[in-house]
Chain A
Amino acid sequence: MPELIAIGTSHHTAPVAVREALALAPEQALALLRRIHAERAYGEALVLSTCNRTEFYVVPRPDGPADLRADLLERIGRAKDAAPPAPDPAIFTRREDREAVRHLFRVSASLESQIVGESEILGQVKDAYRLAVEARTAGFLLNRLLHRAFRVGKRVRSETALEEGSAGVPQAAVELAEHIFAGLEAKTVLLVGAGRTAEAAARALVARGAGRLIVANRTPERARQLAEHLGQARGSPERAPAEAGAGPCPERGKDGAAEGDASLRPQRARRTPGGPAVATEAVGLDALPGAVARADLVIASTGATVPVLTREALAPALARRTRPIMIVDIAVPRDAEPGLGRLESVYLYTLDDLDRLVRRNLERRRGEIPKAEAVVEDEVRRFERWLASRQVAPTIRLLKRRLRSIRRRQIEQYGNRFAGTDRDELEAFSEAMCKRVMHHPIALLKHLATDGATSERLATVDLVRRLFDLDALEADEEADEETEPRGPGPRS
């Protein structure tokens, strides 16, 4: 029986309509896990449910469900208070042991994300682990596994450039702004119009700390509502929060509203630092020249058929300006006359420029994939070694060796006080004592190896190893083997 099974579906195998049917909100996932714990259906269990995947990581029990997929689908139905979904079985992928570990590590490293290098997934894995801990379905193996998964995510982030550079249009606007401005604090953002992508870009800038937001719209009321809504982006995640259990995932692509594994639930990971609320202001389009003069960043996305930002209207305000102004024109047809970019202080970018930056960043991320995969493989090997060391047979051997080593040293230390038959008695006594001390622990370990649950076995082996410092003994053995190859000899 495998010790760990990963089963689920993702954007690689299932369309969004199917993924929606399987996705679980946090409270649904928690309820599902609590039922698993109450029914003792699995030794350990964790569910990772995001916009792009629903995956279960379980430590099976000998008396557990025979058809894992069917059982989990039924549980999903119960958690969502609906009929169990019945998708095509082919969309499910099942991995066991080493492959399950590798898959989880790849997910945590964002190598399995729709946009490689997206940074949300590690937070989502942590949230999934938190739910499993709360539901008491995370045991010895999953605890160890998840902490290693977090380490993988951290290593990939620090040792590779996989997460560097923006991978969405709104984030590209922020990246450009950060190459012009030393910081976004005290900067004024002007949003002209109300396109989705422009709103997302303005939200991203506010979330990064922009000090003031001006919204210019043909309809003053719409401008005011938008200003209020965007003004709350400070201290909240950089993407549009979704209602728990809501429908389709946020649309991807040009609006960049979601990047990679967006969660269906309100984002809790990676909140930007809070602080004073951003000041907001709503103006009509007739006040645009004045608003532009006060702004440091302008995001333009109206539905106008002619430019609303013209050189003739803005040159008087911008010509003598000494501090830079960045204008991002996301509209098609364009809102800003190209001639504006020739003004000294103006840095003008269109949607094409942002797209080009995003494509360049994604290309560079792809170049980092081999490095990230090397990190994953290294951590898989480490985890395998750890798992192998927590097997019963080598632990019993090391335990015997440890106690016999203690026995020999004590005899060497005290044995010279005994002579003749007394010495023989001492040897017999100490041998019997060792056997008696080892008897019960070894019997327990052997029982767990054949009949015990995986988690209990691993936890017990780990405890025995720590109690008797068997890892150090094993390390000494390996060191000795490296210097002198071990020949055949009596097994201890």
Chain B
Amino acid sequence: MPLLLAVGGAVLPLAYLALVIDYGATFFLRTRTRGRTPLLLVMVAVHLGYLVLWGLEAGHAPVTGTPEVLSVLALATAAVYAWVEAVSGDRRTGLFVLLLAFLFQYAASFLTAGASAGAAGPSAGPHAGGLRAGLHVLPALVAYTAMAFAGVYGALYLAARRALRRHRFGVLFDRLPPLETLGPMAWHALLTGFAAMTVAIAVTPLMFGEGGGEYSAKIVSKIVTGSVAWGVCAAAVLGRWLGRWPLARTSAVAVVGFLLVMALLAVSGALS
């Protein structure tokens, strides 16, 4: 099993990279811009299998250490995108989303290189694993995935908008979906992130249960990261609802928020 996991850890980033190259061809060479990608579905299934094996080897759900979280984020990003592509039939934004999945998985594999699944990092404490942790971790992962989508589609929206306002009829003009598709995608992802992170934060006290818990630097960094993520989402959502912010502004906030959260997650990972 450890060998299988080690091989999986090495192969998964390469497989995501292959997908990125395929979608890169779609974007730059305009091949197969519509339709579905069977390889993507296979990739999601294989990655899910890898995480199941990881969990079996580690004896807990793979959501405690930073590498595990990053790998789950990669899977969630790819899986959500597979659904978006299946529904829309449009492959043009796959390059950007799958690039993110590749980066997540590459970071996860890099951090776990040479380590066994059971030693995914320092123990997260008595509240590692278990149902209570799951109640927090699952919505938190949904929130981070949604923020990733909001960041990617927000950036694409801003890039496409800039090209159109500056009358630049180049690659971005040709290759991206219309503004009315990109903007709402970023916005809905933000809404999802806001809702999910609200649930995750609300459930957090349950994780510490009776007898309290230890507020290690890692836990504090996670709380800070989650709070920042929630704050960014809340600012964008309230800004649009109450302040009638245009999509360009909410998209900009989504992009900045996503980068900030990624930076904080990296810090959190360094503290592991």
Name A's B-contacting residues (CB within 8 A): 161, 176, 178-183, 320, 322, 324, 341, 344-345, 347, 349, 353, 356-357, 360
* Cβ 8 A contact of B178, one of A178, A349, A357: A178
12 extra A-B contacts, CB within 8 A, seeds A322-B247, A356-B169: A178-B178, A179-B164, A179-B173, A179-B178, A180-B164, A180-B178, A180-B179, A182-B178, A344-B246, A345-B246, A349-B167, A356-B167
Interface residue B216 (Cβ < 8 Å from any Cβ of A): no
A51 to B205, CA, bound (A): 77
* Residues on B with beta carbons closer than 8 Å to the beta carbon of A180: 164, 178-180
Please tell me if the beta carbons of B30 and A161 are within 8 angstroms of each other in the complex: yes
* Residues on B with beta carbons closer than 8 Å to the beta carbon of A360: 169
Number of residues from B at the complex interface, CB < 8 A:
16
Interface residue B60 (Cβ < 8 Å from any Cβ of A): no
Please tell me if the beta carbons of A181 and B165 are within 8 angstroms of each other in the complex: no
* Residues on A with beta carbons closer than 8 Å to the beta carbon of B264: none
Q: Known A179-B173, A182-B178, A182-B181; judge A353-B167 contact (CB<8 A).
A: yes
Name B's A-contacting residues (CB within 8 A): 30, 160, 164-165, 167, 169, 173, 177-181, 244, 246-248
* Residues on B with beta carbons closer than 8 Å to the beta carbon of A176: 164
A-B contact count, CB below 8 Å? Answer: 38
Between B173, B180, B248, the greatest number of chain A beta carbons within 10 A of the residue's beta carbon is seen for B180
A150 to chain B, nearest CB (A): 23
A328 to B232, CA, bound (A): 36
* Residues on B with beta carbons closer than 8 Å to the beta carbon of A320: 244
CB nearest to B30 among chain A residues:
A161
A162 to chain B, nearest CB (A): 13
Q: Known A179-B173, A344-B246; judge A324-B180 contact (CB<8 A).
A: yes
Q: Known A322-B244, A322-B246; judge A347-B165 contact (CB<8 A).
A: yes
Identify 20 residue pairs between A and B in the complex whose beta-carbon atoms are under 8 Å apart, listed by A's number.
A176-B164, A179-B160, A179-B164, A180-B164, A180-B178, A181-B178, A181-B179, A182-B178, A182-B181, A322-B244, A322-B246, A324-B179, A324-B180, A345-B246, A347-B164, A347-B165, A349-B167, A356-B167, A356-B169, A360-B169
Q: Known A161-B30, A322-B244, A322-B247; judge A179-B179 contact (CB<8 A).
A: yes
B153 to chain A, nearest CB (A): 13
CB nearest to A324 among chain B residues:
B179
* Residues on A with beta carbons closer than 8 Å to the beta carbon of B164: 176, 179-180, 347
A357 to B173, CA, bound (A): 11
A205 to B178, CA, bound (A): 16
A283 to B262, CA, bound (A): 53
B100 to chain A, nearest CB (A): 23
* Residues on A with beta carbons closer than 8 Å to the beta carbon of B248: 344
A341 to B161, CA, bound (A): 13
A320 to B246, CA, bound (A): 9
* Residues on A with beta carbons closer than 8 Å to the beta carbon of B179: 179-181, 324
A356 to B168, CA, bound (A): 10
* Residues on A with beta carbons closer than 8 Å to the beta carbon of B177: 182
A1 to chain B, nearest CB (A): 47
A360 to B165, CA, bound (A): 18
* Residues on A with beta carbons closer than 8 Å to the beta carbon of B246: 322, 344-345
A183 to B164, CA, bound (A): 17
